[in-house]
């Protein structure tokens, strides 16, 4: 590829292929595969590869990936964008009968948003021991006096969702050390 002016910047070439889950089995792994594919889309525009979808009654009502860089908005996490989309789509901010699938355990902000939107269920892939607030670093959703209980499950399709994040950060570190600009 050397000398090819069409070659995109290294950061935009995602080494991960999109998954093609069977349409016949609509289980947690199926919806998480769709979230993973959004993470691949995020990498391709040089955003941190985290994707999220929201499912309701077997239908995807929201799909988003991290957009912090592009929108220069620290709140533009995949989960936040998906929650806003879902509420608009169903015309109700209460998402009790919805499930959020996200490739990384929600951070403090997004964990809070799952509680405030009364999401019925949150399924995440990789548990984040540093920033995860649904069982990893702490468990916001398990605060004893909360009126709403979010059911949270981790570990679904963990390997690819964790690998794409690690590879992205490794690539960033490599680029930053080899290119001082």
3-state helix, strand, coil in the chain (%, to 5): 40, 15, 45
The reply to whether 79 belongs to the active site is yes
Q: Which two tokens stand for residue 82?
A: 């998906």
Total residues at the site for Zn ion (CB under 5 A)? 4
The answer to the question of residue 113 lying near Zn ion (CB under 5 A) is no
CB of residue 86 to Zn ion, shortest distance in Å: 15
Residue 59 DSSP symbol: E
CB of residue 89 to Zn ion, shortest distance in Å: 20
The answer to the question of residue 102 lying near Zn ion (CB under 5 A) is no
- CB neighbours of residue 17 within 10 Å: 9
The residues that bridge with 4 in the sheet, in sequence order, are none
CB of residue 61 to Zn ion, shortest distance in Å: 19
Q: Which two tokens stand for residue 66?
A: 């991290």
Distance, CA of 44 to CA of 66 (rounded, Å): 12
- From the candidates 79, 158, 163, 176, which is the catalytic residue? 79
Residues 61-80 that bind Zn ion (CB under 5 A): 77
The answer to the question of residue 141 lying near Zn ion (CB under 5 A) is no
CB of residue 19 to Zn ion, shortest distance in Å: 22
Q: Which of 82, 107, 119, 122: binder of Zn ion (CB under 5 A)? A: 107
Residue number with CB closer to Zn ion (50 or 157): 50
Q: Which of 39, 40, 110, 165: binder of Zn ion (CB under 5 A)? A: 110
Residue number with CB closer to Zn ion (40 or 107): 107
DSSP codes of every residue in 97-163? T-EEEEEE---HHHHHHHHHTT-SEEEEEE--TTT-TBTTS-BGGG-TT-SS--EEE--TTHHHHHH
Active site residues: 79
């Amino acid at each position: 590829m050397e000398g090819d002016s069409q070659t995109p910047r290294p950061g935009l070439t995602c080494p991960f292929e999109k998954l093609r889950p069977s349409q016949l089995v609509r289980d947690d792994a199926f919806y998480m595969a769709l979230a993973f594919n959004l993470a691949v889309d995020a990498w391709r525009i040089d955003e941190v590869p985290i994707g999220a979808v929201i499912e309701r009654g077997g239908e995807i009502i929201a799909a988003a990936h991290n957009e912090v860089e592009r929108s220069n908005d620290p709140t533009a996490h995949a989960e936040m964008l998906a929650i806003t989309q879902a509420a608009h789509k169903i015309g109700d901010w209460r998402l009790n009968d919805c499930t959020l699938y996200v490739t990384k355990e929600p951070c403090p902000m997004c964990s809070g948003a799952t509680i405030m939107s009364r999401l019925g269920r949150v399924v995440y892939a990789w548990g984040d021991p540093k920033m995860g607030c649904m069982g990893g670093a702490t468990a916001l959703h398990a605060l004893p006096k909360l009126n709403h209980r979010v059911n949270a499950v981790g570990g679904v399709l963990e390997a690819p969702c964790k690998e794409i994040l690690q590879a992205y950060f490794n690539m960033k570190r490599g680029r930053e050390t080899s290119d001082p600009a």
